[in-house]
Amino acid sequence: MSYVDDLLVQAQGLASADPKRPKQANLRRAVSAAYYALFHEAVEKSCSAMLSTSDAGGLVGDRLRRTIQHATALKSAKWFAGPTKNLPQAIQDMRAPFGTPQPAVDPSLRAICQTFAALQAERHRADYDLSSPFSRADANRQIADAQEAIKAIRSLQAKGDTLIFLLGCLFGESLTRNHSQ
Amino acid sequence: MPTKDEQIQAALDSVLASAPKVPKVIETRFRLGIDDAGDDAIFVLVVLDEQTKDTEWTTANFQPIMDQIHEAIRAAGLTDWPYFRFARPSELNRVAG
């Protein structure tokens, strides 16, 4: 099994531990693991979209993986989780020639990006906000969402909006800078 | 001219009035903040009926509520990204175990 799949199994195990009264420590680690599963799947997809198979599995891939930041990945996810009219102009211009209507975002990619943004916030809550408890049902919901999003990422080809999303994970807002038309 | 807080509260109130019957929303709260991308964000707490079953605790069931709130916020002219937490009343202040 891949590291991502192992994280999901870990999340499920933690969320189902303590049948009578779940421990917050386990539920929180479960949510965190679910987020990291999704994050690392996006990282892997980004690297494999940019690099040859041999480079992605080698030293260059190792370095590229370490460059991806949670903030840049969130920024990129939010581009495609919301309405296309809110996309930065540089991103709009990568999708369609200036002045032409913006195509709709693939619903599957939109769902992935919505899940990514939501799950990252939940990961923060899980790891840092001890005043805000998790229920087992909520942990299970986050895990199910991560599983669904990972399955969806694996099914998408790295082209069009998916490619822009993956580039955004790597480069974040710098993808939109120095843009002129 | 309503304040930003008033605009958000009005958006949340409008959704509360038209939210789906299942799961039943009994209250919404929010706080403003900054997300990990450094953008303005609205952290929304949606309190659901205590009787909401675990089997109903799915994003598919919550998505219409989230979509309505997101749309109401956008309709108010705000671009802050909403993040959602769902909880039953009994889960709001439970001591960490």
Q: Could you write out the DSSP letters of every residue in A121-180?
A: HHHHHHHH-TTS---HHHHHHHHHHHHHHHHHHHHS-SSHHHHHHHHHHHHGGGGGSS--
Residue A145 pLDDT > 50: yes
Mutation target among B36, B74, B81 for the A interface, most CBs of A within 10 A: B36
DSSP code for B13: H
B17 touches chain A (CB under 8 A): no
* 3-class secondary-structure state, position B2: coil
Asked whether the beta carbons of residue B84 and residue A135 sit closer than 8 angstroms, the reply is no
Q: Report CB contact under 8 Å: A137, B97.
A: no
Residue B44 predicted with pLDDT over 80: yes
Q: Mind listing the pLDDT tens digit for each residue in B80-91?
A: 999 999 999 998
pLDDT, tens digit (0-9, with 9 covering 90-100), for A92-112: 999 999 889 999 999 999 999
Q: Which residues contact A122 (CB under 8 A, 6 or more apart)?
A: A31, A35, A142, B85
Tokens representing A146 are 């991560």
B11–chain A nearest CA distance, Å: 17
Which pLDDT does position B97 carry in this prediction? 47
Compute the nearest-CA separation of B26 from chain A (Å): 18
Non-local CB neighbours of A165 within 8 Å, separated by 6+ positions: A76, A77, A79, A80, A109, A112, A113
Amino acid residing at A147: Q
Q: 3-state DSSP call for residue A28?
A: helix
The identity of residue A2, as a single letter, is S
Flag if B86 and A138 touch (Cβ within 8 Å). Answer: yes
* pLDDT(B94) > 80: no
Look at A141 and B57 and tell me if their CB atoms are within 8 Å. yes
